[in-house]
């Protein structure tokens, strides 16, 4: 029976990164920038078709892997709000507000859940699909080690919050610079397409750098506290690959 969870776990955590990139980035940008003119799909249908790809991928991924987190949920909500702004022909300031608010709200939720057992930090950086949390916990066997682990989590939590703050600032700057047209227009679709790829290029670098540093620092602390090497911190199915 002990082998059953091990064989069932990989499908839940495995995601095809290329398909993700195509559905959430490449195809929406292609439609928004090249197929939204009046002579083709038009701005409204073009927006709907473009957003159908990430929405369809979200639903497909959920059905296949039964796996979701706050990032995927907020990403899905972000897509719906973009569509709503475009269909309601709203002013571009609403795009700026949306792009800024999303990472800020996630950052606030990271802070709000910091002391909970199922904190967002553990969802993002210390989730039990990657780390052997039960084994790690068994090595944190003194009050001093528990206090040190709490300190490690606190620093990682603030680094995570900082990454979302950086994302919010960059989103505000980019959306303010790029989106100038009201929703329901060909220009709006083109600008949303530009914002999508520019945001991915500009924001991914610094935020990922912070997250990687936070993860590296946390792993370093866990190795010191538990006496385990890096592979010893992971689930067996990761070390076998």
Over residues 166-208, the pLDDT tens digits come to 999 999 999 999 999 998 888 998 999 999 899 988 998 899 9
- Tell which residue, 84, 99, 85, 76, has the closest CA to residue 170: 99
Cα gap 234→155, rounded to integer Å: 21
Q: What is the pLDDT of residue 9?
A: 45
Categorize the per-residue pLDDT at 119 as very low, low, confident or very high, splitting at 50, 70 and 90.
Answer: confident
- Tell which residue, 115, 23, 110, 129, has the closest CA to residue 68: 129
In the three-class reduction of DSSP (H, G, I as helix; E, B as strand; rest coil), residue 229 is classed as coil
Categorize the per-residue pLDDT at 19 as very low, low, confident or very high, splitting at 50, 70 and 90.
Answer: confident
- Tell which residue, 43, 24, 22, has the closest CA to residue 32: 43
- 21-25, 44-48, 120-124: which has the highest mean pLDDT? 44-48
In the three-class reduction of DSSP (H, G, I as helix; E, B as strand; rest coil), residue 4 is classed as helix
Give the residue with greater pLDDT, 233 vs 1: 233
Categorize the per-residue pLDDT at 113 as very low, low, confident or very high, splitting at 50, 70 and 90.
Answer: confident
Residue 68 has pLDDT above 70, yes or no: no
Q: What percent of the chain has pLDDT over 70?
A: 87
Categorize the per-residue pLDDT at 212 as very low, low, confident or very high, splitting at 50, 70 and 90.
Answer: very high
Categorize the per-residue pLDDT at 15 as very low, low, confident or very high, splitting at 50, 70 and 90.
Answer: low
Categorize the per-residue pLDDT at 11 as very low, low, confident or very high, splitting at 50, 70 and 90.
Answer: very low
Q: Which parts of 22-88 fold into alpha helices (H)?
A: 27-34, 43-65, 70-87
Least confident of 15-24, 29-38, 205-214: 15-24
- The two structure tokens encoding residue 221: 């602390």
Give the residue with greater pLDDT, 2 vs 144: 144
Q: What is the pLDDT of residue 235?
A: 66
Q: What is the mean pLDDT of the chain?
A: 82
- Tell which residue, 167, 154, 150, has the closest CA to residue 209: 167
Residue 3 has pLDDT above 50, yes or no: no
Longest dimension (CA), the chain: 70
In the three-class reduction of DSSP (H, G, I as helix; E, B as strand; rest coil), residue 19 is classed as helix
Cα gap 185→145, rounded to integer Å: 58
Instruction: Kindly report whether the global pTM for this prediction surpasses the value 0.85.
Output: no
Mean pLDDT of 100-118: 87
> How would you label 31-62 residue by residue, b for 16+ Cβ within 10 Å and e otherwise?
bbbebbeeeebbbbebbbbbbbbbbebbeebe
- 60-64, 223-227, 231-235: which has the highest mean pLDDT? 223-227
Q: What percent of the chain has pLDDT over 90?
A: 22
Cα gap 201→222, rounded to integer Å: 32
Q: What single-letter DSSP state applies at residue 25? A: I
Q: What is the pLDDT of residue 14?
A: 59
Mean pLDDT of 44-48: 87
β-sheet bridge partners, residue 131: 234
């Amino acid at each position: 029976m002990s082998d059953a969870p091990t064989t069932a776990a990989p499908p839940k955590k495995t995601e095809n990164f290329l398909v993700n990139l195509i559905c959430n980035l490449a195809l929406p940008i292609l439609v928004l920038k090249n197929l939204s003119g009046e002579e083709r799909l038009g701005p409204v249908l073009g927006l709907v078709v473009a957003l159908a790809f990430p929405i369809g991928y979200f639903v497909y991924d959920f059905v296949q892997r039964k796996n979701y987190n706050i990032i995927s949920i907020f990403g899905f909500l972000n897509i719906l709000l973009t569509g709503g702004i475009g269909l309601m022909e709203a002013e571009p300031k609403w795009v700026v507000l949306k792009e800024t608010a999303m990472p800020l709200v996630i950052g606030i939720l990271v802070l709000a859940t910091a002391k909970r057992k199922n904190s967002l930090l553990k969802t993002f950086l210390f989730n039990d699909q990657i780390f052997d949390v039960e084994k790690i916990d068994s090595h944190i066997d003194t009050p001093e080690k528990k206090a040190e682990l709490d300190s490690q989590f606190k620093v990682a939590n603030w680094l995570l919050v900082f990454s979302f703050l950086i994302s919010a600032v960059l989103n505000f700057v980019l959306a303010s610079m790029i989106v100038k047209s009201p929703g329901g227009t060909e220009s709006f679709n083109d600008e949303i397409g530009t914002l999508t790829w520019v945001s991915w290029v500009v924001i991914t670098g610094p935020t990922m750098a912070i997250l990687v540093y936070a993860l590296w620092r946390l792993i370093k602390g866990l190795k010191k506290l538990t006496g385990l090497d890096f592979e010893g911190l992971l689930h067996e199915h990761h070390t076998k690959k």
